[in-house]
Structure 1
């Protein structure tokens, strides 16, 4: 079964179509990347799946269940999103404990104390951080809280929107290693949005390259590493990424 299936997804803002008939499959247990330059539409695909861009046409299903438009309580237990900015995505006046307990309270689930402690340990957060506020945490610690919050309802699909781009380079590797470990230990599937091809090479199995709202190529990460992408624009992205990395 596919963790995520998207068929002919189109999203418009007013008269501007930003995603145009996009189709992808994310196999259960797979880590799949959407890559492209800013404005290519990759983040909008993620928002449509998460219910944050409800004006879309096409088909979206998560573990075989059709995705309705907008916020869907049933989706919350199957898929969750981790945002790019760990500070902006956390309530500034909520402690870590309150942030992690909230999803359980909304869904009427008990055992909050044990679950909070379990997830904090899973993402490498010491229990002394439990009653701290976001401004009392480092960027890496805040992103661990965001990942922990996404895992509270035990979803099997995580939507990752540039999860390391707002972090210091020294912290990025820690978060990427954490995501890789969580995927293995919890049997997670990932849909990752990024412009960072080294991140894709480290974390993903396959990728789709987007340009001006369309997918121009879908290929394996092995093809990316070996320089065997087939589309001219894909190869151009790889060249730009190599120049940026070496600069």
Structure 2
């Protein structure tokens, strides 16, 4: 089954078209990356899928259901987004417990206490963190909470917008390993935005390369090991990364 399908997607901010004719499919259970320079339109695609960039034309389908242009509570139970900045994505005056309980309350889901504690455990946080506030957490702990919040409604599709780029290097690997573990255990599909080719090599099965709002190439992540790319822009990105992103000099 196809988890995400985009066909001829154009996205605009006012009079400015920032994504043009984007088309790709992500299979259920796959981890798929959008890569490219800043401003290429990667995050804008995630925002359109999530309902945060409503000025678009074309087709967006998630788990067989067409995506509308308005906020859809049913969509929230199928697809959730984890944002780049764990400092900005959590309300500073809401405890971890409230952050995780709110989606359950909105959707009328019971047994909230057990679900909150189970999800904290799933992201590697024990019960001590439940009633803490964001300012009492490290960056990595905040991102774990953000991931837990996204998983509270048990979605099958996760949109990941540079989920480790705002974290210290020492913490990035922990979060990536956590995401890989959750994907395996919960059967998740990932659509990930990143500019970091080693992250793509570690996390993803395939990648779409974006340049100036257009997808110029779709390739297997394994191409990062041998450089077998077709588009000149993709080849330049690969060369700028030092060739094989896993190579240790």
Give the equivalent residue in structure 2 for 1:196.
196
Give the equivalent residue in structure 1 for 2:209.
209
What SS does the corresponding residue of 2:201 show, helix, strand or coil? helix
- Structure 1 length-normalised TM: 0.97
What SS does the corresponding residue of 1:242 show, helix, strand or coil? coil
Distance 1:204 1:96 in 2: 30
The RMSD of aligned alpha carbons is: 1.2
Spell out structure 1 runs of 4+ moving beyond 3 A.
Answer: none
What SS does the corresponding residue of 2:34 show, helix, strand or coil? strand
What SS does the corresponding residue of 1:184 show, helix, strand or coil? helix
TM-superposed CA distance for 1:240, in Å, is 1.6
Give the equivalent residue in structure 1 for 2:236.
236
* Pair 1:116-2:116 in alignment: yes
How does 1:34-53 map onto structure 2 within 5 Å? 34-53=34-53
Distance 1:239 1:30 in 2: 26
Q: Which runs of no fewer than 5 residues in structure 2 stay unpaired?
A: none
TM-superposed CA distance for 1:241, in Å, is 2.1
Q: Which runs of no fewer than 5 residues in structure 1 stay unpaired?
A: none
Give the equivalent residue in structure 1 for 2:10.
10
Give the equivalent residue in structure 2 for 1:64.
64
How does 1:1-247 map onto structure 2 within 5 Å? 1-242=1-242
TM-superposed CA distance for 1:70, in Å, is 2.6
Distance 1:31 1:165 in 2: 18
What SS does the corresponding residue of 2:242 show, helix, strand or coil? helix
- Structure 2 length-normalised TM: 0.97
Distance 2:130 2:239 in 1: 43
- Any conservation in 2 of the 1:53–1:70 contact (CA below 8 Å)? no
- Any conservation in 2 of the 1:95–1:131 contact (CA below 8 Å)? yes
TM-superposed CA distance for 1:230, in Å, is 1.2
Counting matched residue pairs gives: 246
TM-superposed CA distance for 1:73, in Å, is 0.7
- Any conservation in 2 of the 1:201–1:221 contact (CA below 8 Å)? yes
Distance 2:161 2:92 in 1: 20
What SS does the corresponding residue of 2:53 show, helix, strand or coil? coil
